[in-house]
Amino acid sequence: MAYDATTAGHRPVVDLADRRALERWRPAEPEVVEEARRLKEAALLDFGLTESVVASWIYAKCPQQIPTTAVATAAVVASGDGTCPLLYNPEFFVRLGLAGVKFVLFHEARHLVHRHLFADPELREDPLFTLAAEVSINHVALVRLGRTGLPVLDGAPTGVDPHEVHRDYAADLTDQGLEPLGYDDFVETDMTVFNELKRMKHPPTPPVAVCAHLADPGAGADQETIDETVSSALLNTLLAARRGHPGAEQELLDLMDRTDGTSEHASKVWGRLGAGTLRGETARTGKVDWWQRWLVDVLATKLREGERLVYPKKRGALLAALGHDPMLSRRGAEREKVLVIAYDTSGSMPDWVVEWLTKLVGEIDGVSAHWLSFDGVVMPFRPGERVYGGGGTSFQAVADYVEGRTAVGGVPFEETADAVVMLTDGYAPHITPAEPDKWIWLITEGGDDWPDHHTPQMACHRVTTGDR
Ligand SMILES: [Zn+2]
């Protein structure tokens, strides 16, 4: 997925998954590499500060960022081993300057999001869809980054100009005696661009290699890796939004407006993420249960205090100039949040609930998860392991362990939990934990949701356990 409009048609000259080969291949002058790296870091820090929380998270999940002349421009490659290296040509970045580098990095990150939301192979094979993606990505980049034009390289704008494509489209439709949409309606969603381009009698052919790697699936667009990286970035952006980060909320809402409901797959992705809570709506697909959205929301609240996504107050270019890695800023001094998930082996929690929760928890950055199974006693377990129930059920056993009064196999729980999720049918003597506001109860169907009307009341929701 390379931002590539100037040197079209070039196939990669080395294996893009081979980091050493990439760095060895005709390296640029050291001072060019250094300047390019500085520009890249300054751009990424600006994303985190103000411009694109989503892109900031995506690059945080692409820690390999490799200057190489083996690509003509820049590309985020999703390789089969689950990593997403960013490859960038240092000379290209230096010629672009900071504004241009930001545009290109935003463009590349957005490609991954686009690919995640519109994964349908039939769409992907349509060259017009490729062009439509360029149009909508560049439209969003212009708006989001507050630009009036594409980045300029050697005096000429580079990339697909959405306004130009729209002018051609309007002329084509007018020639056919049809009514074209105005620019704003034309670019309203990612799919309107595609659908409107299809109405053209002579649709424009995309520049040969607008995105070299998209045209060459062998060169690194592994769908699973893209899905993993992007869904994790979106989830963390959603959590940041729920914790009160206005930039994250705005960007996510914009992105949802452009994509949710425009394809079945996109709606499913948003529904699964539980992002409906952001705008107080149910996703259009009926498949996602309310409790899942509810849990994402509640977790965000419980894990809030001590915001981990800490941005430095001063402009990041300064930090970058001093040689600091801008990504450090998001680690901050904040300790990891501790999440306990306790699973009642006497209840009948379907496997998919545990699987879903495992994936969700695994994708939340800055959280360490402790999984417990319990009946009358507590046993730590790893998700995926079989857990066996014994006799009796005791919530108190969980509270005693989590609050440090008992040990398992002689080992006490030495952390302070920020949130405790209880998966249970609710049938056991009621308890009042030391910090009830940290407890979240997920009750199986037919179970007893007493924590909902306990004093003090605790976060509680019924899990729908029907067919999946
Ligand atoms: Zn592109």
Higher-pLDDT residue of 67 and 303 is: 67
Cα(8) to centroid(ligand 1), Å: 12
Residue 287's pLDDT is what? 45
Of the listed ranges 205-219, 349-363, 399-413, the least confidently predicted one is: 205-219
Cα(64) to centroid(ligand 1), Å: 20
Residue closest to 97 by CA, chosen among 151, 59, 50: 151
Residue 218's pLDDT is what? 47
Q: Are 98 and 174 members of one domain?
A: yes
Considering 110-124, 231-245, 353-367, 378-392, the range whose residues carry the highest mean pLDDT is: 110-124
Cα(107) to centroid(ligand 1), Å: 6
Report pLDDT digits (tens) over 27-64: 889 999 999 999 998 898 888 777 898 998 899 888 88
Phi, psi of 259 (to 5 degrees): -130, -35
Burial class (CB in 10 A: 0-12, 13-18, 19+), 268: middle
Residue 246's pLDDT is what? 81
Q: Are 243 and 357 members of one domain?
A: no
CA-based R_g, the chain, Å: 25
What do you get for the CA distance between the two ends of the chain, in Å?
34
Query: Hunting for tokens 């996109």 — which residue is that?
Result: 266
Higher-pLDDT residue of 288 and 239 is: 239
- Let me know if residue 324 belongs to a domain: no
**Cα–Cα distance measured from residue 273 to residue 278, given in angstroms and rounded to the nearest whole number:** 11
Cα(109) to centroid(ligand 1), Å: 10
Looking at residues 155-180, what average pLDDT do you find?
95
SS3 call for 86: strand
The answer for residues whose C-beta is within 8 angstroms of residue 371's C-beta and 6 or more apart is 341, 342, 343, 380, 381, 382, 383
- Let me know if residue 18 belongs to a domain: yes
Residue 48's pLDDT is what? 78
Residue 277 has pLDDT above 80, yes or no: no
CA separation, residue 93 to residues 40, 73, 97, 98, 145 (Å): 8, 8, 6, 8, 17
Cα(108) to centroid(ligand 1), Å: 7
Q: Are strands 407-408 and 411-412 parallel, antiparallel or unpaired?
A: antiparallel
- Let me know if residue 207 belongs to a domain: yes
Higher-pLDDT residue of 308 and 295 is: 295
Cα(2) to centroid(ligand 1), Å: 6
Instruction: Classify the C-alpha dihedral 194-158-87-309 as positive or negative.
Output: negative
Higher-pLDDT residue of 298 and 227 is: 227
SS3 call for 159: coil
Q: Are 381 and 238 members of one domain?
A: no
Higher-pLDDT residue of 309 and 369 is: 369
Please, which pLDDT band fits residue 355 given cuts at 50, 70 and 90?
confident
Cα(136) to centroid(ligand 1), Å: 10
- Let me know if residue 120 belongs to a domain: yes
Considering 134-143, 216-225, 358-367, the range whose residues carry the highest mean pLDDT is: 134-143
Looking at residues 422-440, what average pLDDT do you find?
93
Q: Are 191 and 50 members of one domain?
A: yes
Cα(212) to centroid(ligand 1), Å: 8
Q: Into how many domains does the chain fold?
A: 2
Looking at residues 141-161, what average pLDDT do you find?
91
Residue 12's pLDDT is what? 59
The answer for residues whose C-beta is within 8 angstroms of residue 89's C-beta and 6 or more apart is 28, 67, 68, 69, 71, 72, 73, 74
Of the listed ranges 70-74, 176-180, 304-308, the least confidently predicted one is: 304-308
Cα(211) to centroid(ligand 1), Å: 5
Looking at residues 408-415, what average pLDDT do you find?
90
**Cα–Cα distance measured from residue 395 to residue 179, given in angstroms and rounded to the nearest whole number:** 66
Please, which pLDDT band fits residue 363 given cuts at 50, 70 and 90?
confident
Please, which pLDDT band fits residue 284 given cuts at 50, 70 and 90?
very low
Q: Are 94 and 237 members of one domain?
A: yes
Cα(200) to centroid(ligand 1), Å: 22
Cα(150) to centroid(ligand 1), Å: 13
- Let me know if residue 20 belongs to a domain: yes
For position 357, which CATH number holds?
Answer: 3.40.50.410
- Let me know if residue 161 belongs to a domain: yes
Residue 295 has pLDDT above 90, yes or no: no
Residue 282's pLDDT is what? 47
**Cα–Cα distance measured from residue 420 to residue 299, given in angstroms and rounded to the nearest whole number:** 10
Q: Are 233 and 378 members of one domain?
A: no
Please, which pLDDT band fits residue 336 given cuts at 50, 70 and 90?
confident
Residue 216's pLDDT is what? 42
Q: Are 264 and 339 members of one domain?
A: no
Q: Are 342 and 265 members of one domain?
A: no
- Let me know if residue 290 belongs to a domain: no
Residue 328 has pLDDT above 80, yes or no: no
End of a domain among 269, 284, 316?
269
Average model confidence (pLDDT) across the chain: 82
pTM of the model as a whole: 0.74
Residue 182 has pLDDT above 80, yes or no: yes
Residue closest to 356 by CA, chosen among 386, 384, 398, 389: 384
Q: Are 107 and 211 members of one domain?
A: yes
Residue 330's pLDDT is what? 43
**Cα–Cα distance measured from residue 74 to residue 86, given in angstroms and rounded to the nearest whole number:** 7
Please, which pLDDT band fits residue 392 given cuts at 50, 70 and 90?
confident
CA 246 to chain centre: 17
Residue 10 has pLDDT above 60, yes or no: no
8 A C-beta contact, residue 462 and residue 291: yes
- Let me know if residue 323 belongs to a domain: no
Q: Are 258 and 128 members of one domain?
A: yes
Q: Which domain holds residue 403?
A: 335-462
Query: Hunting for tokens 């439509």 — which residue is that?
Result: 132
Looking at residues 442-446, what average pLDDT do you find?
86
Percentage above 90 pLDDT, the chain: 40
End of a domain among 242, 269, 296?
269
Residue 322 has pLDDT above 80, yes or no: no
Cα(137) to centroid(ligand 1), Å: 8
Q: Are 409 and 263 members of one domain?
A: no
Q: Are strands 152-153 and 459-462 parallel, antiparallel or unpaired?
A: unpaired
Higher-pLDDT residue of 303 and 198 is: 198
Residue 13's pLDDT is what? 66
End of a domain among 225, 252, 269?
269
Residue 217 has pLDDT above 50, yes or no: no
Looking at residues 255-274, what average pLDDT do you find?
86
Alpha-helix residue ranges (DSSP H) falling in 30-189: 30-46, 53-60, 90-117, 121-125, 127-144, 162-175, 183-186
8 A C-beta contact, residue 75 and residue 67: no
Residue 39's pLDDT is what? 93
Residue 214 has pLDDT above 60, yes or no: no
Query: Hunting for tokens 């990439």 — which residue is that?
Result: 22
**Cα–Cα distance measured from residue 64 to residue 57, given in angstroms and rounded to the nearest whole number:** 14
Q: Are 140 and 225 members of one domain?
A: yes
